[in-house]
Structure 1
Amino acid sequence: MARNWTIDFNEEAIADQIAQAKETAIAEENAGPCARQVEYDHQRNLIVFYFANGSQFAVPPDLIQGLQGATVEQLNNVWLDRAGLSVHWPSLDADFSILSLVQGIFGTKAWMAEIGRQGGKQTSEAKRKSSRENGQKGGRPKGSVKVVKI
């Protein structure tokens, strides 16, 4: 059974829809960081976001899930959505919210956990010094456990 749809296209209805779309766009822009431009800086190996307020944010592509190992051409093939709230690498099938990236969320929970594990494996003089100091005190401080009776 076919339905007959009637749509009332009049100047007033169209003007209302345009006004509502403009209000929605302004609200989305004000909801979070609004990027005006994104580019891959090959010299520094960084994805650089330029924001409407004049600030910049840069992150190495290997930290972002789906971008590790990408070619220069793939990293340059990037675009922002119209509102500047999300970024897309179509050739890599990678899409991210700008707010998430600025907050340091570069992928799924599993991806972020792996980045944390890799960071924990890094060694430095500060880590060695801290380890030596804790060893002289008898090792890592013991955690206290509270028992709550209900």
Structure 2
Amino acid sequence: MTKHKVVTTDTEIDRAIRAAKQLTDEPRVVQVEYRPGHGLDLLILKMSDGRRVLIPREDLEGLQNARREEIAEIEISPNGTALHWPRLDLDYYVPNLLRHIYGSKRWMSHVGRRGGKAKSAAKAEAARANGLKGGRPSTKHVGMVA
């Protein structure tokens, strides 16, 4: 007969229950929907406070290469604070999603670089206008002797 090691103590469980009770004011997910589409692939979270939160699928680490049917199979935790994709073995903590944290630090850095490379007519026009003003101002170091 195999003996199982207890990883969580009663004190830790009690502490977690107290912490969860303090989250009563936090909005929770009551419904989630995946809306795939050409050029617009979104997760729509309906929150307990009535808001809807839209998250582009490609921004979420772990979903960028998943098939639509895998992404569409989403479970909401009983208390509405987590989303789970069973076929992908992927979980997201809702308060982090509301803070626009969509993955690891490395992933978020990748998402930021991707956004900085965006090309649009508005960005090109702003760059031209900045260039007419002499470009980006040079950095001046206060208190340095030349």
TM-score (structure 2 length as normaliser): 0.75
Q: How many residues align?
A: 128
Q: Report the Cα distance in structure 2 between the residues aligned to 1:71 and 1:138, rounded to whole angstroms.
A: 48
Call closer, same or farther: CA 1:107–1:129 in 2, change over 3 Å: same
CA RMSD across the alignment? 2.4
1:128 aligns with 2:124: yes
Say which one has the larger Rg: 1
**3-state SS of paired residue (2:61):** coil
Deviation by residue 1:100-136 (Cα, 9 ceiling, x = unmatched): 1111111111111111111111111222122212222
Q: Report the Cα distance in structure 2 between the residues aligned to 1:147 and 1:32, rounded to whole angstroms.
A: 47
1:27 aligns with 2:37: no
Task: Tell me if the contact between 2:76 and 2:83 (Cα under 8 Å) persists in the aligned partners.
Answer: yes
Partner amino acid, structure 2, of 1:34: R
Task: Tell me if the contact between 2:41 and 2:58 (Cα under 8 Å) persists in the aligned partners.
Answer: no
- Consecutive unaligned residues of structure 1, counting only runs of 5 or more, are 1-19
Deviation by residue 1:60-109 (Cα, 9 ceiling, x = unmatched): 21110000121121012211111100111121121111111111111111
Q: Which residue of 1 aligns with 2:32?
A: 38
TM-score (structure 1 length as normaliser): 0.74
- Consecutive unaligned residues of structure 2, counting only runs of 5 or more, are 1-13
Q: Which structure carries more helix by proportion? A: 1
Call closer, same or farther: CA 1:49–1:25 in 2, change over 3 Å: farther
